[in-house]
Every structure is written in structure tokens, then in C-alpha cells.
Amino acid sequence: MTSCDDCGQEMLGSKSCTHKLLEFSEYQVRERNTTYFDVNDHCHDCGIENKPGNVHHFGCDMERCPICEGQLLSCECREKYEVIPLVTGEN
């Protein structure tokens, strides 16, 4: 089984990645694109549940870049992305 480097969950079986922000630079942090582009109940690549608001595990080829809307893996907005947890104030 493969687990996500960021949230530590097994990729298959987890509903969504919990790291919902993407750091482009020190001053530019965006919410990750939660629009789902697969047709199945679960992402064919990273296994998350197909629901609006769910975030793909980083490295999934379905994740879209929040800036250019292109495929995150192949877009050129940034050489290297940092995925960081969303601090919600819940718990």
C-alpha cells in the first residue's frame, strides 16, 4: 500500500487529503483545487472519495493547479510545491 507523504493516510481508502493548502512561495499560499475531474466514485489514481471539497493526495495526476487550472504535476507555476495543513481552528 502507498501512503501519502503529507497526511500519512493510506491513499486507497482515505476520503481526502487533509493538507488543503499549497504554498507557492513564502507569501503566496492558495487553497488546493478541490474540483474533481474523475468520473468514478473514487479517484482512479489516489483513491479519494469523489465529492466536492475533497483534496487529492499530492502527486495524483488528477489534481489541478489552483492558479492555472492545469494539471498540477505538469504545470509550471512553480518548480516545487509545498503542501501544508489547513489550520481550521476546529477540534
Footprint of Zn ion (CB under 5 A): 4, 6-7, 17, 43, 45-46, 56-57, 60, 62, 65, 67-68, 75, 77
Q: In this structure, which amino acid lies at residue 15?
A: K
Residue 32 or 56 having the CB closest to Zn ion? 56
| Torsions phi, psi for 83 (to 5 deg) | -100, 125
Residue 26 or 79 having the CB closest to Zn ion? 79
**Closest to 75 (Cα-Cα) out of 66, 83, 65:** 65
CB of 89 to Zn ion, least distance (A): 21
- d(CA 24, CA 43) in angstroms, rounded, equals 25
CB of 84 to Zn ion, least distance (A): 12
